A and B are shown apart, each in its own frame.
Chain A
């Protein structure tokens, strides 16, 4: 297998607030290969958007990327090395702010945000904004850029692009605006597009149109995508590989088929079980108990143990790092460091299914002999949500 296009290693992003340090992203690693769609799934507050902002170095004070390494096509987007005083400082290879702005953002890595109304300036015409973006990033004359902008609008399925070019964002429907943003993202033919919940605000029919368009364009241009979403159905439809996030960590990483048909982590399973299905009538939904704890003071051990139906005593003590558990790749689990997992991904071509849960043998921390934990999720108490309000006490 070839070198990954983008590689994220042990990324940590923290927010330093008055109430303490929020560890929004806490040591995540994943790769994106050329032309693939990688999903980043999780509930609100899991750290998905912070992770993508970190990749583009868009995190602003009080937030800061504090550790990890991000490489993109051999260039270091973020890296640390030990400075003379022993404190980590940005490494020499790390691109400067200017290089990030001129070469990476927009040109190499583009981003599409959730709310298309907020990403477009309401006082400029849609065409003008698209033209300006092309003009700045591709060194074209105004006239050429205008023609290119009209072509892009047609490409993404805007009806009557010559006339709509001069219209303002409020004259476009939500789906149309999202198409404009896709046009903008594609305009410089980047290698990677980060799509941050691009269809969440749209109707299913429009979402279908947009996903169809993305698949078509992806085939044509071979662009890789990081697709951030909370919707498992969207993941199932377009992603090749999926990372499931919970409270700042990636807890399961697998090819899309394995994730749905060979689900390993109890959280992923619970997420799938809690969804109402469009294709069958389910009498009683099986929700995940409780709410996601605050990232400021995450539970000890496995962060999901407070809501996990399979939690045992050992889960509160041992913090699991993702390890390869799937059949076939298990041999690699002898030296189950993160590096080994990463190697396994690049060496034998078979992408591993990694999961961070101690109930698997790869961890060998005595899960089987451990006492089941008495929580509401395991049926310890019958009450509904009453104790989860505790988070509000802090």
Chain B
């Protein structure tokens, strides 16, 4: 690389390059003329009640220079929306995004366009992210043209140099994208992102569409390039194996919120949020003697239009915390939660009290107040009053839990390494080292915490 192209690099290695604070992104759910309009038979007959999809809700984190932050979660949890909002490809609803100390949300269009020189993105589908009517060389040159870099000859020279760097033949400069395989196209995408010499690249599922053998080649190349060009990656994937391979730190998202953030080793060896544990339990190891997955998470992700209160994972959480007013043992409490969810899903047909008691409680029924509620609910079910039973159970059990009434945010001690460990789960209420807005994700807010973070990220 020539000196002229060397990055300004005003952020030291290990210091936060990107700081995201309380970022929110809502989508209007009611586009169109009649969007959000409800018609009823009573006055005023027509009502407009706008709803929003809360795609990203109050997310804060830092990405340190030179590191790879992995972002995982199920489909629909807002990973891609978060990434696009960080780059301001989508306008944020609320919150701040600092890139090298500058707030991106306050920049005007043209300032932002110039800034994009330092922030690039790689998309999931290598097929549709390349213009089929452009040759590969000009594709790689395009961002340089947009940012007025070099002259025509210089750009061609740099394009060829980059093609070689990403493991393609520079002589492929004049080929069309269709002549390349999926893995090679993803390499072209890499070359294009690198052409303007960015500091920060957001990679949105860059290897999900590739075969395992090709996936490994591309991942290795991405790592080599990171070292050579001193890049910072925000790496999105739904595949935890890939995340474990490439990341330095890992953030786990669920339904628009960040539930856990820690160093890679710490997160994989000491997962502290039930959702992370469930995700890890769900991956099968490539080993027939491993005995398969242990516990599989039940149910689907709830709608982000009307997410659960408190901890958003509580409707599927296997370790929902018992409300204080009840006093039943843990096993029975789990049976109760199981039963409440089964009623909600209408998972059984029978309305027979005794059969239900046997199936869900196995003779070990809760006593006291909880037992009264259960009897009442079973009474409703035997009358086929499903909705009443559901409401009663949900209101008396699920919504009384601390998980439903308070939003969790805790920082706990790391078992592996000395990085910070943020886990949004009330189970850590007693042992957390910090909670609420002081917890982990806001590192770097004050100058003294920054000083603590100057150590090299664990590799």
Q: Do A and B bind each other?
A: yes
- Residues in A lying within 8 Å of B, measured CB to CB: 43-44, 154, 157, 159-163, 173-176, 203-209, 211-212, 230-237, 256-257, 259-261, 270-272, 274-279, 281-282, 284-289, 291, 383-389, 391-392
B221 in contact (CB, < 8 A): yes
B265 in contact (CB, < 8 A): yes
Interchain residue pairs A-B with the least CB separation, the first 3:
A287-B216, A159-B345, A384-B167
Instruction: Report whether B286 and A173 are in contact in the complex, using a CB–CB cutoff of 8 Å.
Output: no
- Per the bound structure, the CA–CA distance linking A288 and B293 in Å amounts to 28
Instruction: Report whether B184 and A389 are in contact in the complex, using a CB–CB cutoff of 8 Å.
Output: yes
B contacts with A, residue count (CB < 8 A): 60
Instruction: Report whether B221 and A384 are in contact in the complex, using a CB–CB cutoff of 8 Å.
Output: yes
Q: Which residues of A contact B215 (CB under 8 A)?
A: 274, 276, 287
Instruction: Report whether A160 and B346 are in contact in the complex, using a CB–CB cutoff of 8 Å.
Output: yes
Q: Which residues of B contact A279 (CB under 8 A)?
A: 285
- Per the bound structure, the CA–CA distance linking A291 and B186 in Å amounts to 14
Instruction: Report whether A205 and B297 are in contact in the complex, using a CB–CB cutoff of 8 Å.
Output: yes
In the complex, which residue of chain B has the Cβ closest to the Cβ of A383? B167
Instruction: Report whether A256 and B288 are in contact in the complex, using a CB–CB cutoff of 8 Å.
Output: yes
- Per the bound structure, the CA–CA distance linking A194 and B282 in Å amounts to 24
Q: Which residues of B contact A161 (CB under 8 A)?
A: 346
- Per the bound structure, the CA–CA distance linking A157 and B264 in Å amounts to 35
Q: Which residues of A contact B301 (CB under 8 A)?
A: 173
- Per the bound structure, the CA–CA distance linking A163 and B281 in Å amounts to 32
| Of B104-112, B235-243, B327-335, B435-443, the one with at least 4 CB within 8 A of chain A | B235-243
- Per the bound structure, the CA–CA distance linking A198 and B265 in Å amounts to 32
Shortest beta-carbon distance, A391 to chain B, in Å? 8
In the complex, which residue of chain A has the Cβ closest to the Cβ of B293? A208
Query: With A278-B283, A386-B169 in contact, is A271–B212 under 8 Å at CB?
Result: yes
- Residues in B lying within 8 Å of A, measured CB to CB: 74-75, 164, 167-169, 172, 175, 179-181, 183-184, 187, 211-217, 219-221, 238-242, 244-245, 264-265, 268, 278-290, 292-293, 296-301, 344-347, 349
Instruction: Report whether B284 and A389 are in contact in the complex, using a CB–CB cutoff of 8 Å.
Output: no
Of the A-B pairs whose beta carbons lie under 8 Å apart in the complex, a sample of 20, sorted by A's number, is A43-B213, A44-B211, A154-B349, A159-B347, A163-B346, A173-B301, A205-B74, A205-B282, A205-B296, A209-B297, A236-B287, A259-B288, A278-B244, A281-B245, A289-B217, A384-B217, A389-B168, A389-B180, A392-B179, A392-B180
Instruction: Report whether B216 and A278 are in contact in the complex, using a CB–CB cutoff of 8 Å.
Output: no
Instruction: Report whether B220 and A287 are in contact in the complex, using a CB–CB cutoff of 8 Å.
Output: yes
- Per the bound structure, the CA–CA distance linking A271 and B285 in Å amounts to 14
Shortest beta-carbon distance, A243 to chain B, in Å? 15
- Per the bound structure, the CA–CA distance linking A278 and B294 in Å amounts to 14
Instruction: Report whether A209 and B296 are in contact in the complex, using a CB–CB cutoff of 8 Å.
Output: yes
Name the residue among A212, A387, A388 with the largest chain B CB count within 10 angstroms. Answer: A388
Query: With A160-B345, A174-B75, A208-B282 in contact, is A276–B287 under 8 Å at CB?
Result: no
Checking B283, B288, B300 against A173 with a beta-carbon cut-off of 8 angstroms, the contacting residue is B300
Shortest beta-carbon distance, B349 to chain A, in Å? 7
Q: Which residues of A contact B282 (CB under 8 A)?
A: 204-205, 207-208
Instruction: Report whether B286 and A272 are in contact in the complex, using a CB–CB cutoff of 8 Å.
Output: yes
Checking B212, B264, B349 against A275 with a beta-carbon cut-off of 8 angstroms, the contacting residue is B212
Name the residue among B74, B212, B299 with the largest chain A CB count within 10 angstroms. Answer: B212
- Per the bound structure, the CA–CA distance linking A154 and B215 in Å amounts to 38
Q: Which residues of A contact B299 (CB under 8 A)?
A: 159
